[in-house]
Structure 1
Amino acid sequence: MRILLFGATGMIGSRIAAEAGKRGHEVTGATRSGKDGTLAADASDVDTVARLAAGHDAVVLAVAPSRGGIEASESLLEVGRGVLHGVRRAGVRRLVVVGGAGILEVSPGVRVVDTPGFPEDFLPWTLAQVALFGLVQGNADDLEWTYLSPPAMVEPGERTGAYRIGDHQLLTDGEGNSHISTEDYAVAFVDELERGELTRRLAHVAY
């Protein structure tokens, strides 16, 4: 499989690139800066996305929004719009998005981002991810998209290959923790790229 990956040097994007590469997939990494051997690309530019996506089987959006103010949401939405229009123009149907946990529900109708005491510093970043999901869900019926949310805590750790798949409800373990290693999130992500079992939906990965 030929995969174009926007955000290829981020904490999650780099693990997805590594996992896909280990399985023999051809990964084209793209970042804003073009560092570490990636292509310099503005993912909000439709022409750029279309040019890079041409000839690929799937596009991965792993771009993290900025954490500052309302600009975080609008910046990520611009990237989302650019990618949606660009993949269409390139004739690529498969789009998998690295989502956020804020959209997941801790109880019926109550999202993680709505819970009392949610860290204010993370609010712009979290709302940006929520807005991106709304953009994809409302504007990508013609694409085979998946929005894959990590749990509340995702950080570098061990690759075990173990994970659970959920939907819009936050998964927790027996002690009430919602977590996964970045490496195992990448395993689940590449599994979905290969299998395509979770198309046109929000899905959630955790231990």
Structure 2
Amino acid sequence: MKIGIIAAGGKAGHMIMEEALRRGHDVTAIVRHPSKINEDVKVLKKDLFDLTRQDLQDFDVVVDAFKAPAGEEIKFLTSTEHLVEILTGTTVRLFFVGGAGSLYVDDHITHLYETPGFPEAFKPTSTMMGRGLEVLENQDQLNWTYISPAPNFKPTGDKKGHYTLGNEMLMTDSEGKSEISYADYAVAMVDEIENNNHNREHLSVVW
């Protein structure tokens, strides 16, 4: 399968790239700084906002692992709008590394980022990622899947080799914890890419 990974030099994107390569997929790292990529993989040096339909239309799947810089959180929204614009009407399946703040904590009324006690520092990111998700939910000519990690998204956590896949509701374990490592999130992402069972759905992943 031909998979393009936007921001493959970042933590989440790099883990997803490694997992896809391990499984034998034809992977292209889409990055601004190729020096961050040390693996034997094809590289497309280009800023996300400069990507065109022609750049992406030959991929089976494009993964967006873009992380907007602090103070520029609106780029979570505008980058989503850009990808929607250039990929609508194509056969490309677009997968997003989502945010936990977009998960619901009740019956589709309150998002996690709207709850009392949600860290103020994370609200701009969560709000804009939530607005980007709303853009996707209004599309019926684009194949997309948005996967939110658990709130405790652990960059250096172990790869346990198992996970629980859920819908857009916040999941916790018997102790009230909601965790996933980047490594196991990557496993879940590539599983969904291969299985193609959840088109136009918002999913969540926890241990």
Same-fold call, TM cutoff 0.5: yes
Secondary structure of 1:21 counterpart: helix
Out of 60, 68, 86, the residue aligned to residue 63 of structure 2 is: 60
Matches within 5 A, 1:194-205: 194-205=194-205
2:40 counterpart of 1:40 = no
Query: Which amino acid in the other structure matches residue 188 of structure 1?
Result: A
Deviations 1:1-47 (A, max 9, x none): 000111111111110000000000011111233432443322223xx
Instruction: Tell me the equivalent position of 1:81.
Output: 81
Residue 105 of structure 1 and its aligned partner are, at CA, apart by: 1.7
Deviations 1:86-120 (A, max 9, x none): 2247x333111111111112233222101112111
Instruction: Tell me the equivalent position of 1:136.
Output: 136
Instruction: Tell me the equivalent position of 2:73.
Output: 72
Whole-angstrom distance in 1 between the partners of 2:15 and 2:134: 26
Instruction: Tell me the equivalent position of 1:189.
Output: 189
Instruction: Tell me the equivalent position of 2:20.
Output: 20
| Matched-pair contact (CA < 8 Å) for 1:49–1:82 | no
2:99 counterpart of 1:100 = yes
Instruction: Tell me the equivalent position of 2:151.
Output: 152
Instruction: Tell me the equivalent position of 2:40.
Output: none
Secondary structure of 1:95 counterpart: strand
TM-score, structure 1 as length reference = 0.90
Give the aligned CA root-mean-square deviation in angstroms: 1.6
Moved over 6 A (4+): none
Whole-angstrom distance in 2 between the partners of 1:21 and 1:145: 21
| Matched-pair contact (CA < 8 Å) for 2:57–2:92 | no
Query: Which amino acid in the other structure matches residue 17 of structure 1?
Result: M
Q: Structure 1: 5+ residue runs without aligned partners?
A: none
TM-score, structure 2 as length reference = 0.90
Whole-angstrom distance in 2 between the partners of 1:12 and 1:192: 16
Residue 77 of structure 1 and its aligned partner are, at CA, apart by: 2.0
Identity %: 35
Secondary structure of 2:168 counterpart: coil
Instruction: Tell me the equivalent position of 1:50.
Output: 53
Whole-angstrom distance in 2 between the partners of 1:53 and 1:121: 34
Residue 192 of structure 1 and its aligned partner are, at CA, apart by: 0.3
Secondary structure of 2:180 counterpart: strand
Matched positions, count: 200
Q: Structure 2: 5+ residue runs without aligned partners?
A: 38-42
